[in-house]
Amino acid sequence: MISALLFLVFVRFSDVDGSGSGGGRQGQWQLLLNNTGVVGMHMTLTHHNTVIMFDQTGAGESSYRLRKRFNGSSCSRRTNDLRDSTCYAHSVEYDVGGNRVRPLRLDTDPWCSSGSFLSNGTLLQTGGYGSGATRVRLFRPCDDHQCDWKQSRKSLSDPRWYASSQRVAEHDRVVVVGGRGVFTYEFVPKRDSGEKSFLLPFLHQTNDGSKDGNNLYPFLHLSSDGNLFIFANRDSILLNLRRNRVIKRFPRIPGDGSRNYPSSASCVLLPLHHTDNFTKVEIMICGGAATGASGAANRGRFLTGLRSCGRMVITEDKPKWAMEDMPAPRLLHDMLILPTAQILIINGAKSGCAGYDNARNASLQPYLYSPNKPLGKRFRVLKSTKIPRMYHSAAIVVPDGRVLVAGSNPHGRYTFHKVTYPTELRLEAFVPHYMNRRYHSWRPTNLSIEYGSGGVTAAHGIGYGTEFIVGFLVRKKNIEVEFSAYAPPFTTHSFSMNQRMLKLRSKNMETSKDGWVKAIVEAPPSPNVAPAGYYLLTVVNGGIPSMSQWVQFTSASPN
């Protein structure tokens, strides 16, 4: 039922960029909801095709008023209740197919927190502000839409406000790194009550000394050798998590300014490819704030941000940064891997930095970046939105190929009037050009997935290195097919945590006269390459992607 629902949505939205619209290859925008109820400061996609959005509880009354508090008591029209934040939702679940939201419970404040998925699809959400800084929250999506947040009885070892998290290969666990005034990392779930955090001097070394430090929300990526890449401020290391040892220090990224919060550049791990057995691991970082931007913004001056992007292959013997420029300066933006393996740069501002009322000149035009094109021809400017998406905005890719965009609130409370950038509750979809109906003859449809006899059973997912069968229909006789698996991220504060794309090997492909194709595809070789969990499998034909379907990669033993 979910697949059918989403297919109808896919067809409907593909028509917005018809031949008479003038959209061409710039894409289109569509307003989905006028009011999500809460600011989409944090966003993630679940394998039940719902999107979890949530905000800080300390922002006061959201626009989603509840009839009852979560403790069961009624919320009246009395003044005290109208001002009571517990009479308002601060988290919602958005149904992608139904285009509707429902409220979720939050017991502690997740303001500026982090998140990663466990192998069974449970969102493990860590840290926040105040009483929420050491808390671990869990959300396991369900079919009946009755599931809600649950708070773990076990706490983090250290407070994690503005920390980042990354799922690791072993033991279905997550590593959480940094935080304001915290220079450690730790693992969750804990193996035992005695497990503590580990000191990471690199976080001290990259701290500018101010209260913000320019190294918060460090960029984390799991290398295909199992080590953890960490980038903070302008520097980066490779950390062996088993030994708690830095095994490589990378060159400083060229140029002035910083790249991490509050400078808020964005970072992405470029798609890993089967042709080199997933051994080439390349990082890309774009934008950020100028040196001194935070102090200047506090005095009412908004310095122009950075235009530069850096790419570095971290698995080379002597890695170095290769630099290029975006069409314009940018910060507070998101970088997302599209089903085509191109990078979408969306949201943000051109000057200032992160923080309340600290940025100006909204970046309304997304950029499309094609990593494999020649230098100087990689960026394309796309269709502008009319809604500024500044501090506390987010974006994610959904299975039909659209990009959902929500949030923006550069204020301590919900503020809709007499400010340059009001609190934004509208939910939009950016519809890339590949969804245009003119490409339907190229688009693979009727996608089906069968697990091979050599792998584990369907109940336990697809085993590493095993084969599985992908069936689909293509109307075009000449096909140029690729297969990708995409781990959807947890997106907040310009960083899409755990985002990952793998280009998979097709070992054999049979095509019938009526257009049906049967392909044997090989799963990733190990959890270092693809940590166990749910991925979106996409068939891309001549640059035109199919509707994505969920697959689960796992070890041969049950979860």
Structure tokens at 306: 């950075």
10 pLDDT higher than 60: no
pLDDT at 83: 81
Judged on CB neighbours under 10 Å (0-12, 13-18, 19+), 62 is buried
At 432-477, the pLDDT tens digits run: 999 999 999 999 999 999 986 544 444 568 999 999 999 999 988 7
The sign of the torsion formed by the CA atoms of 552, 554, 558, 559 equals negative
d(Cα 405, Cα 389) in Å, to the nearest integer? 8
Residue 254: what pLDDT?
A: 97
Pick the range with the lowest mean pLDDT from 18-32, 102-116, 356-370. 18-32
For residue 132, pLDDT beyond 80 = yes
Give the CA radius of gyration of the chain. 22
H or E segment at 2? helix 2-14
Range of the domain at 501: 437-554
Average pLDDT over residues 174-181: 97
Which of the four pLDDT bands, split at 50, 70 and 90, describes residue 276? very high
Average pLDDT over residues 20-33: 78
458 lies in some domain: yes
pLDDT over 50 (residue 1): no
Q: What whole-number distance in Å separates Cα of residue 106 and Cα of residue 38?
A: 12
**What single-letter DSSP state applies at residue 385?**
P
Our count of domains for the chain comes to: 1
Predicted confidence at residue 455, as pLDDT, reads 41
Determine what percent of the chain is predicted with pLDDT higher than 70. Answer: 93
Across residues 520-533, what is the average pLDDT? 97
Has residue 421 been placed in a domain? Answer: no
Tokens linked to 204 = 């001290």
Closest to 216 measured CA to CA, from 353, 349, 86, 350: 353
225-238 pLDDT, tens digit each: 999 999 999 999 99
pLDDT at 4: 32
Q: What CATH number does the domain containing 465 carry?
A: 2.60.40.10
Torsion sign, CA atoms 373, 375, 376, 378: positive
Mean pLDDT over residues 302-311, rounded? 98
Range of weakest confidence among 22-31, 246-255, 526-535: 22-31
The fraction of the chain above a pLDDT of 90, given in percent, is 81
User: CB of 92 within 8 A of CB of 99?
Assistant: no
Task: Return d(Cα 424, Cα 516) in angstroms, integer.
Answer: 45
CA atoms lying within 13 Å on the CB side of residue 53: 34
Q: What is the pLDDT of residues 92-127, one digit of tens each?
A: 999 999 999 999 989 899 999 999 999 999 999 999
Mean pLDDT of 21-45: 89
Read off the pLDDT band of 217 (50, 70, 90): very high
Band (pLDDT 50/70/90 cuts) for residue 515 is confident
Distance CA(321)–CA(314), nearest Å, equals 10
Cβ atoms 293, 225 nearer than 8 A: no
**CB atoms near residue 418 (< 10 Å):** 6
Length of the chain: 559
In this structure, the dihedral spanned by the alpha carbons of residues 98, 100, 106 and 111, taken in order and rounded to 10 degrees, is 110
454 part of a folded domain: yes
Question: Is it the case that residue 72 has pLDDT exceeding 50?
Answer: yes
| CB burial of residue 75 (10 Å; 0-12, 13-18, 19+) | middle
Going through 255-373 in order, the beta strands assigned E by DSSP cover 266-269, 272-273, 282-286, 308-313, 322-325, 334-337, 343-346, 349-352, 359-362, 367-369
- 475 against 494, higher pLDDT: 494
pLDDT of residue 339 exceeding 90 = yes
Q: 243: which residues sit within 8 A by CB, 6+ positions away?
A: none
CA distances from 416 to 43, 62, 411, 419, 421 (A): 22, 12, 10, 7, 8
Q: What is the pLDDT of residue 6?
A: 36
* pLDDT on residue 240: 97
Indicate the pLDDT class of residue 85, thresholds 50, 70 and 90.
confident
Half-sphere exposure for 162 (CA within 13 Å, toward CB): 23
**Would you call 207 helix, strand, or coil by DSSP?**
coil
In which band, very low, low, confident or very high, does the pLDDT at 163 lie, cut at 50, 70 and 90? very high
> What are the backbone angles phi and psi of residue 446, rounded to the nearest 5°?
55, 45
Mean confidence (pLDDT) of the chain: 91
